Amino acid sequence: MKYNTEKSLFLVDSFSKLKSWTLVRRAWRTKFKTSWAPSCSVIKYIVDKHQKTGSIHRRRYSVPRARVRTRGMIEAVKKLFEDDPSLSLRKAANFVPISQSTIRTIAKVDLNMSAYKVRKTFLLKPADKSKRFEFVEWMRSRSSGSLDWIEKWLICSDEAYFYMNGGTNTQNDRIWSSQAPKTVRESALFEQKVLVWCAFSSEKVYGPYFFENTVNWENYMQMLTKFFWPRHKRLKNHQFYFFQQDGAPPHRKKEVQEWLKGKFGARFLDLSIWPPRSPDLNPCDFSLWGTIKSKCYNPKPLSLDMLKENITREIRNFEKTDLKSVFSNMKKRLVLVEAQKGGHIEHLL
């Protein structure tokens, strides 16, 4: 509880007269007509502070901060950020006798620095790096060390949820006003959404295929047998294509793995080949879904059927030149994973 000037002075004056914490508490109850009273320790704290400082108010001390950008200060700030690039301006001001604004000016003007936002990414477990590195080696082994075959013979696949309103980005949800607006924005507790499957190579797009509610191994297998395979089998040289899927639970099912091995043989990237937790290597994740989600909400869908129509339109609008560039990008990513010994690559792209 905060004690205003009147109450603090009452405690000090009462104790100077009564010389008893208990009597002061009784006087408080009588004065303010309440059954509650501050504890003895609180009364003692306020009285002691008054005796030491002569005031019941808290004193704030501030250290004068220089605003001069001297050569010595510039070198001191440079050394701080060299030792710890993530050091905040507030913490930096604890090490040098200058203000935060002066530190910012030195960093930007004198040291030509900028404050870059650290990119967040998925967590790799200890064994994942070696698995990712081995995956690149396997991809190279398909063509005497070259990755060029990817641009012609690889089919990548994935599923993704699309929400009716496209999801909410709270970072961009702002209202510009001179005063705080009395405004709220409603959103559904359980927003309507559709689950979409799609696959593509540099020559062809398979999909979209819409799952009802969710996906399990049974309806995933039905999609492969009734939707994907009849379309793929019509392709000339269909037997030369490789097929990729990630490690989602429906994909890992024994029946699914065996069926795909039966169709693609050694050209199926099964569980032993595809590295876990690697959306940065799946073109659907790093290219397709982001592109489709940036376009399928114009015009704004008023129903799930309209959302499906928008998704279908944008997927079919993919040009072959776009598809080829996606797989060229994948080749670049694999080379970076190899150079990073299986580590993260987003910061290098």
Tell me the per-residue pLDDT of 193-233, one tens digit each, with 9 for 90 and over: 999 999 999 989 998 999 988 899 999 999 999 999 999 99
Asked whether residue 117 is domain-assigned, the answer is no
Separation CA 33–CA 31 (nearest Å): 6
> Are 17 and 82 in a shared domain?
no
Asked whether residue 62 is domain-assigned, the answer is no
> Are 23 and 80 in a shared domain?
no
> Are 324 and 228 in a shared domain?
yes
> Are 215 and 340 in a shared domain?
yes
User: Given pLDDT bands bounded at 50, 70 and 90, which one contains residue 154?
Assistant: very high
Q: Is the pLDDT of residue 169 over 70?
A: no
Q: What's the total number of domains in the chain?
A: 3
> Are 105 and 142 in a shared domain?
no
Asked whether residue 121 is domain-assigned, the answer is no
3-state secondary structure of 69: coil
> Are 39 and 90 in a shared domain?
no
> Are 132 and 105 in a shared domain?
no
Asked whether residue 215 is domain-assigned, the answer is yes
Q: What are the pLDDT digits (tens) for 65-78?
A: 555 788 888 999 99
Asked whether residue 177 is domain-assigned, the answer is no
User: Which bin fits 153, alpha (ψ -120 to 50), beta or left (φ > 0)?
Assistant: alpha
> Are 221 and 254 in a shared domain?
yes
Separation CA 310–CA 300 (nearest Å): 9
Asked whether residue 120 is domain-assigned, the answer is no
Q: What are the pLDDT digits (tens) for 314-333?
A: 998 877 668 889 999 999 99
Asked whether the beta carbons of 275 and 128 are under 8 A apart, the reply is: yes
How confident is the prediction for the chain on average, in pLDDT?
A: 87
> Are 158 and 227 in a shared domain?
yes
Asked whether residue 240 is domain-assigned, the answer is yes
3-state secondary structure of 286: helix
> Are 318 and 216 in a shared domain?
yes
Residue 103 is part of which domain span? 71-110
Say if residue 299 is preceded by a cis peptide, omega within 30 of 0: yes
> Are 290 and 150 in a shared domain?
yes
Asked whether the beta carbons of 177 and 295 are under 8 A apart, the reply is: no
> Are 23 and 151 in a shared domain?
no
Amino acid (one-letter) located at 116: Y
Residue 274: how many CB atoms within 10 A of its CB?
20
CATH number of the domain at 209, please.
Answer: 3.30.420.10
Backbone angles phi, psi at 285, to 5 degrees: -75, -45
- What is the chain's alpha carbon radius of gyration, rounded to the nearest angstrom? 33
Asked whether residue 315 is domain-assigned, the answer is yes
